[in-house]
Structure 1
Amino acid sequence: MNDTDAIRRLMLAVGRLEDAADKQARQVAESLQKAHVVSAELAATREAEEAKLKYAMVCLFQEQQQKTEIALRPVTGKAWRGLIAVAAGFALLYAGLLLLLRHEYQRLKDAQLRADAAEVSAEVRHASQHVEITSCGGRPCIAIDPESATWKSRGREYILVDGRSGK
């Protein structure tokens, strides 16, 4: 074998290696392109599945919220009725206390009037100890000191009566 044949063979082998390398590079490029396509498809599928999952979760949340609202309706109604009953009870209690206060105020006024009358009565009894009362033809009469001064009170004129004490 001569050198030219060896070089030719070597060239032929290098050519085949280059062809094989080019073929392999194309295959790698195609594989990479397929991998990118598959990756894009996976991303699109993942996004679609995420969107489905989000939609399903929103639907489940809304359904759960509706169920919760339905379940809470009777409790809410009872709470409102209880609140109204308590408010009505407080209103009745307030009205009862107002009536009681009014009644007690009236009793206080009546007691004050009785106390004032008793005070006047006590003053009259005290004054009657110093006055001589007798009967004049079947009618009550008292002895009056004609020299006594007169007093005016509430539009009336009064004179000091002669008491039993001294004369």
Structure 2
Amino acid sequence: MTDANRADDLLKLTELCPPPADPGPSHSERGVRTPRLIPESHYDLVRTYGTGCFDDFLWIFAMGADNANLDIESSTGVMQSILRAKGAPDLREVLARYGVKPQDMIQWGSTDNGDSLLWIPAGEPENWPTIVIQAGQLAFVISPRSSTGVVLDILTGELNIGFFPDDFPSDHPEFSTNPYV
């Protein structure tokens, strides 16, 4: 992904869903206990919006978030444990094509229904695809887009996730920074 594409996606997203006036601390600039490579486009998303929720449903995580439920490291550790314990042959087969195991994925978001948004860390971070995994059922959808592109595509209807509720997204999506913290 080029810097121009990354900026274009973020601009389109902010036009569709204005970011908060104060997104909170820039978690990406904090010291993090276990550094992990994260796509720069996700840092841009978090610097613009902060951690929180699109349309009271789609949650965005950050490195070093104050809320452990919204912290990439904490959430990824939990998700990796869950995925290690699951057979999920279809998921494993698809990930094997990327040279990745389920426990290698990095969680950057979730939904109120418990669905997970994860990067498939294959290749350069800016080119990591996203996989959206349905809670419990392990059905999934893969998008080649960045986290910002995935959010934009979901909110515009360009990316249809069949297991998301019919009333999401709304016609006028809003973002809430840590609405329940």
More strand by share: 2
Q: TM-score range by the shorter chain?
A: under 0.3
TM-score by length of 1: 0.16
Q: Which has the higher contact order (CA 8 A, sep 6+)?
A: 2
TM-score by length of 2: 0.16
* Structure ID, larger Rg: 1
More helix by share: 1
